[in-house]
């Protein structure tokens, strides 16, 4: 018994049409993975099978996690054996977590585009000669959102025919290579994912993917990312970084809702924040596009330049099929002479002022500051 027998047993017993109950054989096999002692996994690693909960998974899979590393498949990096929907293939793949992106990008093409872009970046950490015999993206042969996201999330993969699986020695050699790939890309991934910069969450815009849900709650679509401090391990030294960018968006969103505006972040990326008037009639397309920037070391020059460029870029590319938005630069502190500079170019500016907020003449005219 070993990895080969486990993969073979899943391939021959899993039946998507049989449901996800405890009496279903294929589900039993997957649930038993976590308790198996015959898999001879690399030291410090453990495995868990996934066949869906209330709804059977289209593509069952077995996660391989490091005990002292990433154990949540919703985000981060981990290894997984993912079966194709027809069970003819199983792929050992270095996966990115996909679930955490749903609130920002939804479940469709926008998320897939971001995952593919991120996978290409992570792949750079692996030398080309080390990729021999491996592919970038496996095919799971199902058009549902989750299998397609698994395909896009793959950094590197090794695909096997389930009717002719290699022996345990070969499978273990591949798994050890997968562990090596995981460790090579782990720090690089953490640095990108936890970045305050725009590269941390980037993708090509898909105009059809940004519809928002209607709700009487003006904060229903305001889902800023976590602003708490975090630790990042970078080349054998530990840095404490602050998500001050996200805190700025969060604080302003909670403030501006009290002034009659609806702050929206859900499904708006790469935009930082969109504002609409609360209670505006259905079909009204008037909105304010907000780009948030943290002023570093008391010098607003770089922050203003970046805000100016991104606002004009987003206005041009993201509003080709709808009226152009009003533009706002949101800053962590007062920007001095740059406020009239931005006003002259049609951009309002708003900044923290002690425990409150102040802004340029346009911002005051709109009722966003006093």
- Please list the rounded mean pLDDT of every run of 10 residues in the chain (370 residues): 94 95 94 93 93 93 85 83 98 93 84 89 82 93 95 96 96 94 76 44 40 52 53 41 75 92 87 90 82 92 94 91 93 95 96 93 95
Predicted pLDDT at 242? 45
- Which residue spans within the chain are E strands per DSSP? 45-52, 56-66, 77-83, 89-96, 154-161, 230-234, 237-241, 261-264, 273-277, 288-293, 326-331, 347-353, 356-359
Please tell me whether residue 113 adopts helix, strand or coil conformation: helix
Predicted pLDDT at 188? 62
Look at the block and give the residue holding tokens 């928002």: 212
Could you tell me which of 290, 254, 253, 296 has the C-alpha nearest to residue 270?
290
The four Cα atoms 310, 313, 315, 321 give a dihedral, to 10 degrees, of -140
Phi, psi of 175, deg, nearest 5: -65, -40
**Number of DSSP helices (H) and strands (E) in the chain, helices first:** 10, 13
Burial (CB < 10 A; 0-12, 13-18, 19+), residue 240, is: exposed
- Bridge-based pairing of strands 288-293 and 326-331 is parallel
Predicted pLDDT at 246? 85
Please tell me whether residue 265 adopts helix, strand or coil conformation: coil
Burial (CB < 10 A; 0-12, 13-18, 19+), residue 153, is: buried
Query: Is 85 within 8 Å of 147 (Cβ atoms)?
Result: yes
| d(C-alpha 259, C-alpha 363), whole Å | 12
| d(C-alpha 145, C-alpha 126), whole Å | 28
Q: State which fold the 3-198 domain adopts.
A: Metal Transport, Frataxin; Chain A (3.30.920)
Predicted pLDDT at 234? 39
CATH 3.40.1350 residue window(s) in the chain: 212-365
Predicted pLDDT at 105? 83
CATH 3.30.920.90 residue window(s) in the chain: 3-198
Q: State which fold the 212-365 domain adopts.
A: Trna Endonuclease; Chain: A, domain 1 (3.40.1350)
């Amino acid at each position: 018994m070993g990895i080969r027998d486990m993969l073979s047993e899943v391939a021959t017993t899993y039946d998507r049409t049989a449901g996800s109950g405890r009496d279903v054989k294929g589900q039993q096999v997957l649930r038993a993975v976590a308790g198996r002692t015959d898999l001879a996994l690399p030291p410090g690693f453990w495995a868990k099978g996934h066949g869906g909960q209330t709804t059977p998974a289209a593509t069952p899979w077995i996660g391989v996690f490091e005990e002292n590393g990433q154990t949540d498949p919703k985000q981060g990096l981990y290894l997984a054996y993912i079966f194709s929907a027809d069970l003819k293939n199983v792929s050992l793949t270095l996966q990115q977590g996909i679930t955490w992106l749903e609130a920002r990008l939804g479940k469709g093409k926008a998320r897939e585009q971001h995952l593919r872009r991120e996978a290409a970046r992570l792949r750079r950490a692996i030398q080309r000669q080390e990729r021999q015999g491996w592919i970038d993206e496996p095919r799971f042969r199902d058009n549902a959102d989750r299998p397609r996201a698994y395909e896009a999330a793959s950094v590197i993969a090794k695909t096997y025919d389930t009717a002719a699986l290699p022996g345990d020695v070969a499978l273990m050699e591949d798994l050890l290579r997968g562990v090596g790939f995981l460790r090579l890309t782990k720090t690089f991934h953490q640095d990108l994912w936890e970045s305050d910069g725009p590269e941390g969450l980037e993708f090509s815009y898909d105009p059809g993917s940004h519809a928002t849900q209607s709700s009487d709650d003006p904060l229903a679509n305001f889902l800023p990312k976590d602003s708490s401090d975090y630790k990042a391990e970078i080349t054998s030294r530990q840095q404490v970084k602050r998500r001050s960018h996200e805190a700025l968006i969060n604080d302003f969103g909670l403030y501006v809702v009290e002034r009659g505006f609806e702050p929206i972040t859900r499904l708006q990326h790469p935009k930082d924040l969109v504002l609409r008037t609360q209670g505006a009639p259905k079909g009204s397309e008037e909105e304010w596009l907000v780009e948030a920037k943290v002023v570093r070391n008391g010098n607003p020059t770089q922050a203003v330049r970046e805000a100016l460029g991104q606002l004009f870029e987003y206005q041009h590319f993201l509003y080709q099929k709808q009226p152009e938005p009003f533009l706002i630069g949101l800053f962590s502190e007062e920007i001095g002479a740059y406020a009239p500079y931005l006003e002259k170019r049609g951009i309002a500016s708003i900044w923290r002022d002690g425990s409150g907020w102040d802004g340029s003449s346009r911002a005051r005219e709109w009722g966003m500051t006093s």
